[in-house]
Amino acid sequence: MATITAKDVSELRQRTGAGMMDCKKALEESGGDMSAAVDLLRKKGIAKAEKRTGRTASEGAVAVAISDDATTGAMVEVNTETDFVARNEEFQSLVRTLAQHALNTTATTDAASLLAAPAHDGSGSTEEYVKGVAGKTGEAVSLRKAARFQAKSGVVGSYVHFNGKIGVLVEVDAPDAASRREELVSLAKQLAEHIAAAAPVGVDKESVPQDVIDRERAIFVEQVRAEGKPEAMIEKIVEGKIQAFYKDVALTHQVWVRDPKVVVGDLVKKANATVKRFARFQLGAE
């Protein structure tokens, strides 16, 4: 039987908002599996959807770099062991350098591709450069994530939360982007701020991962059954819950953080634009 610690219970409470004893029991029933415990609490109706702000299990920083014409953007997440090193100027300089290098390296698609690329100073690979800086700090330093967007007919906007814990890149497309660049850059920045706060998982409901939908559907079925609803009504009720779920996790279906009367999709449509994609990095989150 798995050993359940007070730290485990505290983490589950933070992720679900459920009571201490409910969390302890769920962890015991799930053999210490945190994700399974979350699902168990939700199926019992004890907890609502897991908070998607993510765990901040690592120290480090997120940084972005945007081209002067705002058509290309890059973002990196770099981890280290302690907050002391994360706040060190040498580490912060490394993070900024890697973001700029990702922007300048067209082959960048993820952390692995950036690490394999030649370093910005020609001293070897980017991975070797990171190891060199790590040696100076005395701690393990790792490039955990990287992304690079290049807009074909639009702009790339970004936002980094003031403490460097959350960063967002978003690509906004428009047929007349060249003549509306300033307007679109402003829109993209506002969208990036919204994404940082609202934490969507997809641009629209079609882009929400199927495994996420399947998980929610299974939980909703158990919830409705636990409420004693007739079996013949379960599918219809669950479908309604899924549609409501999309409003929570699909960007264009979300309520605009700046105005609760506005839906993001309507805002973007009114601007004669389209959100092509986004990336949201948060320290410690999957």
Q: What is the DSSP letter of 255?
A: B
Q: Which fold has domain 59-203+264-282?
A: Tetrahydropterin Synthase; Chain A (3.30.479)
- Asked if 7-51 and 59-203+264-282 have one fold, the answer is no
Structure-block tokens of residue 124: 């070897």
pLDDT tens digit sequence for 3-24: 888 888 888 888 888 888 888 8
Q: Which fold has domain 7-51?
A: Helicase, Ruva Protein; domain 3 (1.10.8)
Sign of CA dihedral 114, 117, 121, 124: positive
Structure-block tokens of residue 245: 């779920």
pTM of the model: 0.80
Domains of the chain, residue spans? 7-51, 59-203+264-282
User: Cα separations (Å) of 60 from 90, 138, 283?
Assistant: 12, 14, 7
Half-sphere exposure for 21 (CA within 13 Å, toward CB) = 0
pLDDT tens digit sequence for 73-127: 999 999 998 999 999 999 999 999 999 999 999 999 999 999 999 999 888 999 9
